[in-house]
Protein backbone atom coordinates (compact mmCIF):
# COMPACT_ATOMS: atom_id res chain seq x y z
CA UNK A 1 0.00 0.00 0.00
CA UNK A 2 2.80 2.43 0.89
CA UNK A 3 4.53 1.76 -2.44
CA UNK A 4 1.36 2.60 -4.40
CA UNK A 5 0.83 5.88 -2.55
CA UNK A 6 4.50 6.84 -2.78
CA UNK A 7 4.61 6.07 -6.51
CA UNK A 8 1.35 7.84 -7.25
CA UNK A 9 2.22 11.05 -5.41
CA UNK A 10 6.00 11.34 -5.42
CA UNK A 11 6.81 9.18 -8.40
CA UNK A 12 9.17 6.31 -8.99
CA UNK A 13 12.23 5.97 -11.21
CA UNK A 14 11.38 3.89 -14.27
CA UNK A 15 14.79 3.97 -15.88
CA UNK A 16 17.27 6.37 -17.38
CA UNK A 17 17.78 8.27 -20.62
CA UNK A 18 21.28 8.88 -21.89
CA UNK A 19 22.27 12.02 -23.76
CA UNK A 20 25.92 11.78 -24.65
CA UNK A 21 27.74 11.28 -21.36
CA UNK A 22 24.88 12.70 -19.29
CA UNK A 23 22.11 10.53 -17.90
CA UNK A 24 18.68 11.52 -16.64
CA UNK A 25 16.25 9.54 -14.50
CA UNK A 26 12.79 8.91 -15.91
CA UNK A 27 10.18 9.55 -13.21
CA UNK A 28 6.67 8.18 -13.50
CA UNK A 29 3.74 9.24 -11.34
CA UNK A 30 -0.02 9.73 -11.56
CA UNK A 31 -1.45 12.70 -13.45
CA UNK A 32 -1.88 15.82 -11.27
CA UNK A 33 -5.69 15.51 -11.23
CA UNK A 34 -5.35 11.92 -9.99
CA UNK A 35 -3.07 12.79 -7.05
CA UNK A 36 -3.53 16.44 -5.99
CA UNK A 37 -6.76 16.19 -3.99
CA UNK A 38 -7.82 14.21 -0.98
CA UNK A 39 -10.69 12.67 -2.96
CA UNK A 40 -8.28 11.57 -5.70
CA UNK A 41 -6.05 9.91 -3.10
CA UNK A 42 -9.04 8.15 -1.56
CA UNK A 43 -9.75 6.67 -5.01
CA UNK A 44 -6.24 5.21 -5.48
CA UNK A 45 -6.66 1.52 -6.30
CA UNK A 46 -4.73 -0.77 -3.97
CA UNK A 47 -4.12 -4.41 -4.84
CA UNK A 48 -4.30 -6.68 -1.82
CA UNK A 49 -2.18 -9.78 -1.19
CA UNK A 50 -4.77 -12.04 -2.85
CA UNK A 51 -5.11 -9.79 -5.91
CA UNK A 52 -8.28 -8.03 -4.74
CA UNK A 53 -8.41 -4.40 -5.91
CA UNK A 54 -10.04 -1.81 -3.64
CA UNK A 55 -9.99 2.00 -3.35
CA UNK A 56 -7.67 3.25 -0.63
CA UNK A 57 -10.66 4.80 1.17
CA UNK A 58 -12.00 1.31 1.93
CA UNK A 59 -8.94 0.30 3.92
CA UNK A 60 -7.62 3.60 5.30
CA UNK A 61 -8.91 6.88 6.69
CA UNK A 62 -7.48 9.90 4.93
CA UNK A 63 -7.89 13.39 6.32
CA UNK A 64 -6.21 16.70 5.74
CA UNK A 65 -4.75 18.41 8.79
CA UNK A 66 -2.72 21.55 9.24
CA UNK A 67 0.64 20.95 10.83
CA UNK A 68 4.13 22.34 10.92
CA UNK A 69 5.89 22.58 7.56
CA UNK A 70 9.05 21.23 9.09
CA UNK A 71 9.53 19.03 12.13
CA UNK A 72 12.71 19.75 14.03
CA UNK A 73 14.09 17.90 17.03
CA UNK A 74 16.21 18.97 19.96
CA UNK A 75 17.17 16.40 22.62
CA UNK A 76 14.73 13.96 20.97
CA UNK A 77 11.83 16.41 21.45
CA UNK A 78 9.92 17.79 18.49
CA UNK A 79 9.63 21.56 18.29
CA UNK A 80 8.54 24.21 15.83
CA UNK A 81 9.88 27.70 15.39
CA UNK A 82 7.58 30.68 15.21
CA UNK A 83 8.94 33.77 13.52
CA UNK A 84 7.44 37.22 13.35
CA UNK A 85 8.25 40.49 11.71
CA UNK A 86 7.82 42.99 14.52
CA UNK A 87 7.55 45.97 12.18
CA UNK A 88 4.57 44.64 10.29
CA UNK A 89 2.49 42.54 12.64
CA UNK A 90 2.91 43.75 16.20
CA UNK A 91 0.98 46.72 17.46
CA UNK A 92 3.68 49.03 18.70
CA UNK A 93 2.77 51.05 21.82
CA UNK A 94 3.39 54.78 21.24
CA UNK A 95 4.53 55.09 24.86
CA UNK A 96 7.79 53.32 23.90
CA UNK A 97 8.91 56.14 21.59
CA UNK A 98 10.31 55.53 18.12
CA UNK A 99 10.42 51.91 16.93
CA UNK A 100 14.09 52.14 16.02
CA UNK A 101 14.94 53.19 19.61
CA UNK A 102 13.04 50.33 21.27
CA UNK A 103 15.34 48.07 23.35
CA UNK A 104 15.65 44.45 22.22
CA UNK A 105 14.21 43.07 25.48
CA UNK A 106 11.10 45.21 25.00
CA UNK A 107 10.61 43.81 21.49
CA UNK A 108 11.04 40.31 22.90
CA UNK A 109 8.28 40.96 25.47
CA UNK A 110 5.98 42.33 22.75
CA UNK A 111 6.59 39.35 20.47
CA UNK A 112 6.08 36.86 23.32
CA UNK A 113 2.78 38.50 24.27
CA UNK A 114 1.59 38.08 20.67
CA UNK A 115 2.73 34.46 20.47
CA UNK A 116 0.88 33.61 23.69
CA UNK A 117 -2.31 34.66 21.92
CA UNK A 118 -1.79 32.23 19.00
CA UNK A 119 -3.84 29.06 18.75
CA UNK A 120 -1.78 25.89 19.02
CA UNK A 121 -3.19 22.35 19.20
CA UNK A 122 -3.27 20.84 22.69
CA UNK A 123 -0.39 18.48 21.86
CA UNK A 124 1.93 21.47 21.32
CA UNK A 125 3.69 22.82 24.35
CA UNK A 126 5.71 25.93 24.91
CA UNK A 127 9.02 26.10 26.64
Task: Count CB neighbours of 21 within 10 A.
Answer: 5
Domain limits, CATH 3.30.2090.10, in the chain: 2-58
Question: Domain 2-58: which topology?
Answer: 3.30.2090
Q: What is the pLDDT along the chain (127 residues), one digit of tens a residue?
A: 778 888 888 888 899 999 999 999 998 988 989 888 989 999 988 888 788 899 989 988 888 777 666 777 888 877 766 655 555 445 555 655 665 666 667 667 766 666 666 666 555 555 4
C-alpha torsion sign, points 102, 103, 104, 107: negative
pTM confidence score: 0.47
What is the phi-psi region of residue 20: left when phi exceeds 0, alpha when psi lies from -120 to 50, beta otherwise? left
Amino acid sequence: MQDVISSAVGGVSAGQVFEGIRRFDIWVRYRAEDRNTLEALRNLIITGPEGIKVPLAQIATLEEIIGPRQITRENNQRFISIQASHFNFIEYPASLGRRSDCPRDQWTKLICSCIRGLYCPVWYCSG
